[in-house]
């Protein structure tokens, strides 16, 4: 029986994870649930799964959570704040941690799970983007294992012998990450001037949260995945390529030196990757609709448009710069996306904000967590300044 802590339980990854857990009560037990500030949803999940620990990241919501759980007759322990998230990730109540907190907020708890030797199921790509070397060092220290939940990286994991081998020894030539192209595939910059958050979040294939949906629309999501693949599989940037595949059926491919190309296929449903990681090396039923190749009929592939969707190129540049550059990239992107979703920044100003941050803040060696967090904070402040300037420019030029 695997004892599972789900961090980010009220998000889309959390929901998919808990759906699989509910299908296999003989295999999995939820022992900790954590959410940011959605008290109602977290309380409902606690009433259903009866964890030992419930954590709300925002301390201002703790009393409301306690009251709701008491009303529902749930007797689990309640905690709040960053230290409680770390306890949920590293405590003795669990052996498996699903790290699905969105953004930089999930970094410290992810590192704590790794240091504690947990089986770490990583959906929080920002943690490895910001602090890849630190995460790998924490895994080595704790002696645990990391299994990726991103559909693309999980696909690569499945196509490699042993999951995460030495690529050179395994005879790997290239890793090919597939991208759907998002809702604006085929459009040019002139078509994207008046993009609204609703349009950017209307992904054609996947049902995701608003932040990751915008990242998909800008191709930043794929840029973050390139950085993630670099650390997960110890792959140099020149061996990681992105190919646009609008059907989202081939989730990624691995090319070998003998000419073989292995691909993992499946319907666009995150439960496939999550079930793979939860049960690995076994397989369990995930509730996913079987793939009907005859119904799909065709699979298309094309090169990404880096001139229109510049975020992917910016991610490659940050990876090449090394050190804290990827933390700066991630922080600037989070701030820019939040401003876009709030109506304070045009869609096309997202990459401009990131580019200005990368140019204005020099990267330093990411020697420890304090250095990474300082780079993150500095980049956020710089991004906010840039956003204010770009927003004022936009309003000034509006008719």
Angle between the N-to-C axes of helices 125-142 and 220-232, in degrees from 0 to 180, rounded to the nearest 10: 10
The alpha carbons of the chain give a radius of gyration, in whole angstroms, of 21
143 is in an annotated binding site: no
19 is in an annotated binding site: no
Q: Where are the beta strands (DSSP E) in 85-223?
A: 96-99, 119-122, 145-148, 172-179
Tell which residue, 375, 369, 326, 280, has the closest CA to residue 27: 280
151 is in an annotated binding site: yes
H-helix or E-strand containing 177?
strand 172-179
124 is in an annotated binding site: yes
305 is in an annotated binding site: no
Neighbours of 365 (CB within 10 A): 10
- Whether a cis peptide bond, with omega within 30° of 0, leads into 145 is no
37 is in an annotated binding site: yes
Residue indicated by tokens 């298309």: 300
110 is in an annotated binding site: no
397 is in an annotated binding site: no
Neighbours of 149 (CB within 10 A): 25
125 is in an annotated binding site: yes
Q: Which residues contact 360 (CB under 8 A, 6 or more apart)?
A: 382
Tell which residue, 240, 16, 209, has the closest CA to residue 126: 209
Cβ 358 vs Cβ 332: under 8 Å: yes
154 is in an annotated binding site: no
152 is in an annotated binding site: yes
- In degrees and rounded to multiples of 5, residue 174 shows phi and psi of -150, 150
Tell me the C-alpha distance between 80 and 83, whole Å.
8
95 is in an annotated binding site: no
209 is in an annotated binding site: yes
Cβ 354 vs Cβ 332: under 8 Å: yes
Q: Which residues contact 341 (CB under 8 A, 6 or more apart)?
A: 197, 210, 211, 214
Q: Which residues contact 60 (CB under 8 A, 6 or more apart)?
A: 37
Going by the annotation, the residues of the binding site for 1-deoxy-D-xylulose 5-phosphate are 125, 151-152, 180, 203, 216, 221-222, 225
Binding residues for Mn(2+): 150, 152, 225
Residues belonging to the binding site for NADPH are: 10-13, 37-38, 124, 126, 209
Binding positions are: 10-13, 37-38, 124-126, 150-152, 180, 203, 209, 216, 221-222, 225
């Amino acid at each position: 029986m695997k004892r599972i802590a789900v961090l980010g339980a009220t998000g889309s990854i959390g929901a998919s994870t808990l759906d699989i857990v509910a299908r296999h009560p003989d295999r999995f037990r939820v022992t900790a649930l954590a959410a940011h500030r959605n008290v109602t949803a977290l309380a409902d999940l606690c009433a259903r799964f009866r964890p030992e620990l419930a954590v709300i990241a925002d301390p201002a919501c703790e009393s409301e959570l306690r009251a709701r759980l008491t009303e529902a007759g749930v007797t689990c322990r309640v905690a709040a704040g960053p230290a409680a998230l770390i306890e949920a990730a590293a405590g003795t109540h669990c052996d498996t941690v699903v790290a699905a907190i969105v953004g930089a907020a999930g970094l410290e708890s992810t590192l704590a799970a790794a240091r504690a030797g947990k089986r770490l199921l990583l959906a929080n790509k920002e943690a490895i983007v910001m602090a890849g070397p630190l995460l790998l060092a924490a895994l080595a220290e704790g002696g645990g294992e990391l299994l990726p939940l991103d559909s693309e990286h999980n696909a690569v994991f499945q196509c490699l012998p042993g999951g995460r081998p030495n690529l050179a020894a395994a005879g790997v030539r290239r890793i090919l990450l597939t991208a759907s192209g998002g809702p604006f595939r085929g459009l040019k910059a002139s078509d994207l001037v008046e993009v609204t958050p609703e349009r950017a979040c209307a992904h054609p294939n996947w049902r995701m949260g608003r932040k990751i949906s915008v990242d998909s629309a800008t191709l930043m999501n794929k840029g973050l995945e390139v950085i993630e693949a670099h650390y997960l599989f110890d792959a140099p940037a020149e061996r990681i390529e992105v190919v646009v595949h609008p059907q989202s059926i081939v989730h990624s491919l691995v090319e070998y030196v003998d000419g073989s190309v292995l691909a993992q296929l499946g319907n666009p449903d995150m439960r496939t990757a999550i079930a793979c990681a939860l049960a690995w090396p076994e397989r369990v039923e995930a509730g996913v609709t079987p793939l009907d190749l005859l119904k799909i009929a065709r699979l298309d592939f094309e090169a990404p448009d880096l001139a229109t969707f510049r975020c992917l190129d910016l991610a490659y540049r940050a990876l090449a710069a090394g050190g804290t550059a990827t933390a700066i990239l991630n922080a600037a992107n989070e701030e820019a996306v939040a401003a876009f979703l709030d109506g304070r920044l045009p869609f096309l100003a997202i990459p401009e904000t990131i580019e200005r941050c990368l140019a204005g803040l020099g990267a330093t060696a990411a020697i420890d967590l304090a250095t990474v967090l300082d780079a993150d904070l500095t980049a956020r402040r710089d991004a906010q300044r840039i956003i204010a300037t770009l927003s004022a420019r936009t309003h000034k030029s509006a008719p």
